Amino acid sequence: MGKVITIGREFGSNGRAIARELSEALGIQFYDKELIEMAAKKSKLSDEDLAEIDETRANPWIYSSVGYQVGSGYTTVEPINDLLYQAEASVIRDVAESENCIIVGRCSDYVLKDKIDSRHVFVYAPLNYRLSVVMNRDNLDEKKARSVIKKVDKRRRLYYNFYTDRNWNDLRNYDLSLDSSIFSMQDIIGILTEVYETM
C-alpha cells in the first residue's frame, strides 16, 4: 500500500507546481493530467473528449452522454462527466494502492478519505497573489486573469461539491491547508516532506 498526499488547489495558488516540486524532492510520481489518459484507457473514451470535461460536473440541461447496452435490448445513457469521475476515482484508488505518490485535484481527497496512509492538503492564496501568479505565468492582463481564476475556481468548486456532497473550499475537509502567499516554495516542500515522512 502506497503513501499518498493529495493536493487540492485554488487556481493560481501554485498547487500544481508544489506537487511537481514535492514529487522531485521525494522521488515519487505525481499525477495530474496523466489521470485523464489513464481514465480514458479504463473507460474506453477518447483522451480529447475527457480532457474537455476534466474536473467539470455534468450540465443537467446540456451534456454529452454515452449510450450502452444493459441487457435485453435496453440502452442506458450516462453523462460523460460521470463516466470520467468514476474512471478517475478507480484510477486514483489503483495508483494509491500500488505506489507512493502525489495526486492533484479530481476529488482525490474524498476518493481516498478512508485510506489511513494518506494526507490531504489544500493550497490557497489571496486573490491579489493569484492574479499576480496567473498574469506572469500565463502572460495575461489583469482583467483576463481575474476572469480565468473566477471561471476555473467555479468549475472546480461545482465539480467537487457535486461529486462529494462537501464544500470544496471548506478547510475542515483537509488535513492541512497552506496559504502559498505566506510560505516560500522551499518552506512548503519542507512542511509536506515532513508530513509524508511521518505517515
CATH number at residue 120: 3.40.50.300
pLDDT score of 69? 40
At residue 184, the pLDDT reads 95
In a domain, 71, yes or no: no
Contact status, residue 13 vs residue 125, Cβ threshold 8 Å: yes
Q: What is the mean pLDDT of residues 20-38?
A: 91
In a domain, 73, yes or no: no
10 compared with 83, residue with greater pLDDT? 10
The percent of residues in the chain predicted with pLDDT above 90, rounded, is 69
- Angle among Cα 130, 9, 53 to the nearest 5 degrees reads 105
State the pLDDT at residue 45: 63
Assigned domain for 119 exists:
yes
10 Å Cβ neighbour count for 92?
26
In a domain, 109, yes or no: yes
Residue 42 maps to a domain: yes
Domain of residue 143 covers: 4-64+78-198
Instruction: Look at 83 and 2; give whichever has higher pLDDT.
Output: 2
- Residue 146: CB atoms within 10 A of its CB come to 16
Three-state DSSP state, 15? helix
Beta-bridged to residue 152, according to DSSP, are none
Lowest mean pLDDT among 46-50, 62-66, 128-132, 175-179: 62-66
pLDDT at 52: 56
Number of compact structural domains in the chain: 1
How many CB atoms lie under 10 A from the CB of residue 10? Answer: 23
In a domain, 37, yes or no: yes
- pLDDT tier, 86 (very low <50, low <70, confident <90, very high otherwise): confident
Query: CA–CA distance from 21 to each of 3, 68, 82, 173, 183 (Å)?
Result: 17, 42, 31, 24, 14
How far are the Cα atoms of 4, 96, 111, 118 from residue 114, in angstroms, in the given order? Answer: 12, 12, 8, 9
Residue 72 in any domain: the answer is no
Enter the DSSP assignment of 12. Answer: T
Question: Among 38, 13, 35, 20, which residue's Cα sits nearest to residue 102?
Answer: 20
Higher per-residue pLDDT: 50 or 186: 186
Question: Phi, psi at residue 25, to the nearest 5°?
Answer: -65, -35
pLDDT digits (tens, 9 = 90+) for 30-70: 999 888 788 777 766 655 655 554 555 444 433 444 444 44
- What does the pLDDT average to over 74-88? 66
Dist. CA 101–CA 15, nearest whole Å: 15
